[in-house]
Structures are given as C-alpha cells and as structure tokens.
Chains A and B, each alone.
Chain A
Amino acid sequence: GAVVSQHPSRVICKSGTSVKIECRSLDFQATTMFWYRQFPKQSLMLMATSNEGSKATYEQGVEKDKFLINHASLTLSTLTVTSAHPEDSSFYICSARYPGQGRGGNTIYFGEGSWLTVV
C-alpha cells in the first residue's frame, strides 16, 4: 500500500486563484519532504525541500512567494500555488524517505502526484 499520500490527484482552478496540494507520510514521520514538478514528457525537477518546523529550501529559479511550502507537522507538507496562471499547469509530486534500517530504510517513496490545470 501507499506510504506517501498526496491530495488532490487532479485539480482545476481559475487563473488568479490559489490551490493547495497536501503530501502526507502514512505511518511514519518525515522530517524532510521534497516537491517536484514534471512537465509533459520530461523528467522530474526538484522545486524545493520541505523541512519540518523550518523554512523550505527552494531550488534556483523557483519563486518562493508563488510556491508556498508549509511543513507544519512530521507527517504533512503542503504546497500552495498562489495566484495561479496557465503556465503553472503541471504535474506536481512529493516524496519522503522511509526511515530506519533494512530494506525499506533507504527507500524514497513518492505520493500519487497532483495534476494541476489552470484555466
């Protein structure tokens, strides 16, 4: 079963509005989560690193004020796309590392991803 859950899976919003995407680690604590963006037929590009209890670290070229990240608890990180525009339409996906030792200890799991369409 899923160990990282992302919601919503699909969202359509009007241009100028904001939309929030949630990423939850299920049954484990994730002090760090990652947000990626994927354009059609391209690879995943890291947007930011979400740190529980502190500010997110953004990659170069990613607007902090546009993509607000909040990691309020050890199991939840949220990405808010503010004042969305059609060019923000994309596939957004989060990931978290499953903690501990053993076979699963080094595994990084992804959420199901969220398709955002801004009209």
Chain B
Amino acid sequence: AQKITQTQPGMFVQEKEAVTLDCTYDTSDPSYGLFWYKQPSSGEMIFLIYQGSYDQQNATEGRYSLNFQKARKSANLVISASQLGDSAMYFCAMREGQNAGNMLTFGGGTRLMVKP
C-alpha cells in the first residue's frame, strides 16, 4: 500500500484565492512527522511546513497551514491568498518513527498552477 497518497496530480487556482492540496498517509507507527515541500521548475526542494504526530495544534507558517486530521490520516496543505509564484510541484512526505534515520517517503506530488 502507498504510504503517502496525493490524489490531485494537477490543480488550478485563481490568484489571491486559497487552495487545499490533499495528502493522506498510512502508518502504524504512533510517532511520525509530516512534511510539505515545494519544488519549482528549477528542481530545488523548499521546505514549507512540518507537523508532528503528537502536535496538538495544526502547524502554520505564514500563508501555509496544515489541516491535520489524525483520525483520518490526512495532512492537507492550505495555501491562502495564492500568488503567481506559488505555481510549482508540491510534495507531501512522511518520516516514520523516532529512529527511522529521518528517511522521507514522498507522495506523487501535485502540480499547482496559479492563474492571474
């Protein structure tokens, strides 16, 4: 079974509107971390936001927030007030366990396109 699933291969959003990128995960480990990365066409991976499995509150970083639904095993990324520069690939990733060596498992990615 896929450990990280991103069901939206591509999405359009109007500039200045909010958009939600879906991510569901599968793990039996009670300790895990969830990450979102942005990958522009240049290829670099830009860290956006992190959510730990024991965190009580949803993570927020500027215009990025993570809608963490632990029971549903979902960790959707919400981008508010979309900007043209937000157009990129977005990857959800998971790190399992305390001593997993920090290996990340990635979802297939979602290509976000912001329309002017």
Contact = CB atoms under 8 A, between A and B. Distances in A.
A109 B42 CA distance: 16
A115 interface: yes
Interface residues of A, number: 21
A12 interface: no
Interface stretch (B13-21, B62-70, B72-80, B103-111): B103-111
Interface residues of B, number: 22
Contacts, number: 53
Interface in A12-48: 32, 34, 38, 42-44, 46
Interface residues of A, dominant DSSP: strand
Contacts of B91: 43-44
B50 A107 contact: yes
Contacts of B46: 110
A79 to B, nearest CB: 16
Interface in A72-119: 91, 93, 95, 97, 106-113, 115
Nearest to A112: B44
Contacts of B85: none
A113 B91 CA distance: 15
A49 B100 CA distance: 11
Interface of B: 33, 35, 37, 42-47, 50, 52, 91, 95, 101-109
